[in-house]
Structure 1
Amino acid sequence: MQLVKVGLCAFGMSGKVFHAPFLKEHPGFFITAIVERSKEESKEKYPDAQIFLSVEEMLENANVDLVVVNTPVQTHFEYAKMALEAGKNVIVEKPFTINAKEAEDLAKLAAEKNLFVSVYQNRRFDRDYLQVQKVLNEKVLGEIKEVEIRFDRFRTEASAKLHKEDPNLSGSGSVHDLGAHLIDQAVQLFGFPKKVFADVFSMKGNDFANDYFEILFYYENELRIRLKSSVFTKEDHYAYKIFGDRGCFLQQRSDDQENQLVGGAIPEYGKEWTAPLDSEDGILNIFNENSETERTLTSSEPGNYMNYYQNIYEHIVFGYYLPSPAEEVVQNMRIIEAVLESSRQGKVIDLV
């Protein structure tokens, strides 16, 4: 098996939870280098990886084929550009960049260098999103009229991650953080919207970056999609609500990969490694020709972030499909910019 040598630009939560465990367990990857500026925490689990004090030092000295830019969003453009100029393929954590211009520049540079940039949109591999995708593909709901997708948390205290909380930093806040997931999922499921209207602010106060948003997408066929997130939502509820003229589907946000990884779970290669559900996580209502409702409780199949890295490996070795390529996610960054502009101006923004 061809071995792809990987360098991680950081070893914080993203590196420890979302990247290193999958790269270690996948037989096609080998973590050659890790950047740790002040600690050597990676040595315990990844003793074969050389530790560097900076991304610049790693790119100059490490033997790597693929660079994972998993640093704060404010550095994504700089480090991804450096890696591309060093001749490396790149994975960038979401959100891709601060703005659309940076995203466009990286996509253009990668094409010029005959390299790739993939954005780590891991929520495409969540069990709940995959279940929604499955139901939509079955076309049992008829013409979709209205959709709501939510990603809520109960975090009334500020995060220790200043790059996400400081309102004076471009790219901070929930729109770039959780919004990057919801916007990506909406676009994947329903395409690029025609217009957008948004309400964005900080529930914790003006000293903090935005932690609440409500975004409304308008489509050519009059479909409306509402994306919402709050840090003051305690109880679980249906995160996906899909309403069509022949039925509706409600799906809980039930994927537990992140929690299991934080708890030390090892993602096995080639296997479903997450714990099974202990109850149904969705409701499907179909309206039959007699105007009666057929109600079914549904259970989603396991998601697996390993499939992202399997896609990356197959692209590198065989030239297969590249997951979430830069050219695609540039569109998401344009939407994020329009969302923030809509909230500032208090008006609908045209996207096309």
Structure 2
Amino acid sequence: MRTALVGYGLGGAAFHAPFIAATEGLELSAVVTANPKRQAEVASRYPDTRLLSTLDEVWTGDFDLVVITTPNRFHATHARQVLEHGLNVVVDKPFAGSPAEARALASIASSRGLMLVPFHNRRWDGDFLTVRKLLDSDTLGKVHRFESRFERYRPEIKDSWKESGDPKDLGSILYDLGTHLVDQSVALFGRPRTVHAEIATVRPGAKADDDVFLALTHDNGVRSHLWMSALAADQGPRFRVLGHDAAYVKYGMDPQEERLKAGETPATPGWGEEPEEAWGTLNGEPHKTEPGAYQNFYKAVAAGKPEVTPQDALTGLEIIEAAKQSATTGDAVSL
């Protein structure tokens, strides 16, 4: 599949281009960026890849797949344009700005028989794969509490659309880190019945929400507690999963992001593996982390069998909408 990557910031350079280029059945045919420095980076790393300056130039090319990794406010608009031109599309998170936008995109894709794939790559974090394996093997027994965190300590505010207070920019940490936390929870335990949320802006001068807590109650009785923060000077466990028979606790982040930033690729020996000192614990004893495997997202796309669906993204956006309502009223919201 001849693939055009639209955008070459951190997302395009680290999370998309290396995997598109390395996946059998895909070809990184073009990168769309008007930034001269980023164009030079693409030319150096992918000399056979065509450079385009605007999305409109994609329509005159012979492409099969377009990957959208532009600023959040453009995701739904650009995805719609791609679908209307009859091309398959992968859309970075957040998939859209609202459930209504997500439904409209899904309808277009379905009517035209096109792939529309939300980029929820954190389903292939090694620690998440470990939790999934423990659940599949019933090692923990009946789970009653699932705790998950993406916490950072970034007291200084950056001059970026990600820190914007304009709702159209979708700069809230709820759309950024929260999208992943919600998707992982739903992937494990299904669509929740109720959503309770606390949403705050805690850094002086910040305009976008930067500290959020969500409590989801699932049909099977599991309660998911999800934290995301830009001002966590002391960070809790990445995962804490409590079951009738055992508990799994894991600190620290999956290593793939840092390795990608350092220029490594999935072909690097030991890709996705964690050193033993970073493993989590199962009932207090070290438990090996499954290797992370972001490459499997694009392998499934290349095979025409994506593992993340538009409905997955729609459910996540409905949860985010319910969370915003809950934070305003102080009440839990039923889905």
Q: Taking structure 2 as the reference length, what is the TM-score of the superposition? A: 0.94
Give a deviation string over 1:217-262, Cα, whole Å, max 9, x none.
1233443211001112244542111112222111224411100110
Q: CA separation of 1:147/1:275 partners in 2, compared to 1, >3 Å: closer, same or farther? A: closer
Displacement, 1:55?
0.9
Q: Is the aligned partner of 1:26 residue 2:23?
A: yes
Give the aligned partner of residue 51 of structure 1: 51
For the residue of structure 2 that corresponds to 1:44, the secondary structure is helix
Counterparts of residues 31-42 of structure 1 (less than 5 Å): 31-39=28-36, 40-41=39-40, 42=42
The residue type paired with residue 228 of structure 2 is: S
Displacement, 1:13?
0.9
Gaps of 5+ in 2: none
Give a deviation string over 1:45-102, Cα, whole Å, max 9, x none.
12222222211222x2221100000011100111101100111100000111111111
The residue type paired with residue 89 of structure 1 is: N
Give the aligned partner of residue 342 of structure 1: 326
Give the aligned partner of residue 309 of structure 2: 325
Between 65-74 and 220-229, report the one with greater CA deviation: 220-229
Q: Is the aligned partner of 1:87 residue 2:71?
A: no
Distance in 2 between the 1:341 and 1:298 partners?
A: 39
Give a deviation string over 1:82-139, Cα, whole Å, max 9, x none.
1001111000001111111111111110000100111111110010100111111111
For the residue of structure 1 that corresponds to 2:157, the secondary structure is coil
The residue type paired with residue 277 of structure 1 is: P
Counterparts of residues 135-174 of structure 1 (less than 5 Å): 135-162=134-161, 164-170=162-168, 171-174=170-173
Give a deviation string over 1:249-296, Cα, whole Å, max 9, x none.
112244111001101112219x752454142521112xxxxxxxxx43
Distance in 2 between the 1:280 and 1:212 partners?
A: 26
For the residue of structure 2 that corresponds to 1:203, the secondary structure is coil
Displacement, 1:329?
1.5
Larger-gyration structure (1/2): 1
Distance in 2 between the 1:221 and 1:88 partners?
A: 39
Q: Is the aligned partner of 1:300 residue 2:289?
A: yes
Displacement, 1:298?
0.5
For the residue of structure 2 that corresponds to 1:304, the secondary structure is coil
Which of 300, 314, 322 in structure 1 is aligned with 2:303?
314
The residue type paired with residue 185 of structure 1 is: Q
Gaps of 5+ in 1: 286-294, 316-320
Give the aligned partner of residue 284 of structure 1: 282
For the residue of structure 2 that corresponds to 1:139, the secondary structure is coil
Give the aligned partner of residue 187 of structure 1: 186
Contact kept, 8 Å, 1:67 with 1:90, in 2: the verdict is yes
Q: CA separation of 1:89/1:221 partners in 2, compared to 1, >3 Å: closer, same or farther? A: closer
Contact kept, 8 Å, 1:280 with 1:297, in 2: the verdict is no
The residue type paired with residue 325 of structure 1 is: T
The residue type paired with residue 11 of structure 2 is: S
Counterparts of residues 255-270 of structure 1 (less than 5 Å): 255-268=254-267
Q: Taking structure 1 as the reference length, what is the TM-score of the superposition? A: 0.90
RMSD: 1.7
